[in-house]
Amino acid sequence: MLEITSFEAGRRLRGSLLLSGALIALIVLTVALFPSIQESGADLDAYLESLPPEATRAFVGNVTTLTTIEGYLVSQLYQFGWVLLLAIYYAYAAASSIAGEVERGTVGLTLSLPVTRTRVVVGKFLSLVPGVVLVNAITFLAVYVGLVLIDESIDVIDLFAVHACSIAYLLACAGVGLLASVAFDSIRRAQTAGAGAVFGLFLLDTFTFDTDYEWLGDVAFSRYFDPGAILVEGDISWTDLSVLLVAIFILVIVSSEYFERRDLTG
């Protein structure tokens, strides 16, 4: 299993570095704009209040002010970049892990080795972990250095906590992609199902939050990762983190069991 994990993680390293580079560019642009926005005197909070509740939930999160660096980062970087875009990216990436081998016809060669199907699935999933950690480590440093350069202060522990908690969130989303990967023979179908499911759950969370149907959004992983609560209020919900960790475990187990029972002869 570790051999599969090591090999697949090595293959994903270049992609993780390219993704980190793209995020650094986004971070530089986001952080560099903050001083000019402050100096302009733009009434960001009035703009925030004018947004529909659904738009606020989707693109700003639960922050109540954009005039602080913490609220600004959540609204301009973490809520959209991490909660939505990176979640979709890792679901999409995980969706190709098993489906890719099935579509290319190499799954038989892999299973001819002394490994069980469960070990293959778990090994493929674990190969995503180093990339997720690497991307968050690099971007954490980029955000911190950027804030130092513009002479803004932030609680480093809270900033670190946002990135640490996002690892569990992103891996849970990757678990959705993994389940799609064992369910479909086609890479495109698996990627569409995995990424589409994560996006759909995000929308479900957005449109049911603070309504009579809020309980429907409890199945969405975005409900359990709130960058605003962590960075602005310094509040880490260990219950939410536990839910994400349990979800990862369940998704990997279900994916492994499904793949064990799946007929690959067709």
Query: How many residues comprise the chain?
Result: 266
Sequential DSSP letters for the chain = -HHHHHHHHHHHHHHHHHHHHHHHHHHHHHHHHHHHHHHHT--HHHHHHHS-HHHHHHHTTT-S-SSSHHHHHIIIIIIIIIIIIIHHHHHHHHHHHHHHHHHHT-HHHHHTSS--HHHHHHHHHHTHHHHHHHHHHHHHHHHHHHHHHTT----HHHHHHHHHHHHHHHHHHHHHHHHHHHH-S-HHHHHHHHHHHHHHHHHHHHHHTTSTTGGGGGG-GGGG--HHHHHTT----HHHHHHHHHHHHHHHHHHHHHHHH-----
d(CA 96, CA 185): 10
Mean local confidence (pLDDT), 224-251? 94
Q: Is the pLDDT of residue 265 over 70?
A: no
pLDDT at 226: 93
CB 23 within 8 A of CB 81: yes
- Count Cβ atoms within 10 A of the Cβ of residue 135 and give its class: 0-12 exposed, 13-18 middle, 19 or more buried: buried
CB 95 within 8 A of CB 191: yes
Amino acid at 34: F
Residues 70-118 pLDDT 10s: 988 998 899 999 999 999 999 999 999 999 888 888 877 877 778 889 9
d(CA 189, CA 86): 19
Q: What does pTM read for this prediction?
A: 0.93
More confident residue, 177 or 40: 177
- In the chain, the percentage of residues whose pLDDT exceeds 90 is 65
pLDDT at 41: 53
d(CA 22, CA 20): 5
Q: Is the pLDDT of residue 196 over 60?
A: yes
Mean local confidence (pLDDT), 221-237? 92
Residues 21-71 pLDDT 10s: 999 999 999 999 888 877 765 566 676 676 677 666 667 777 777 778 998
Please name the residues in contact with 144: beta carbons below 8 A apart, sequence gap of 6 or more.
154, 156, 159
Domain definitions of the chain by residue range: 2-27+82-261
Q: Is the pLDDT of residue 144 over 70?
A: yes
pLDDT at 45: 66
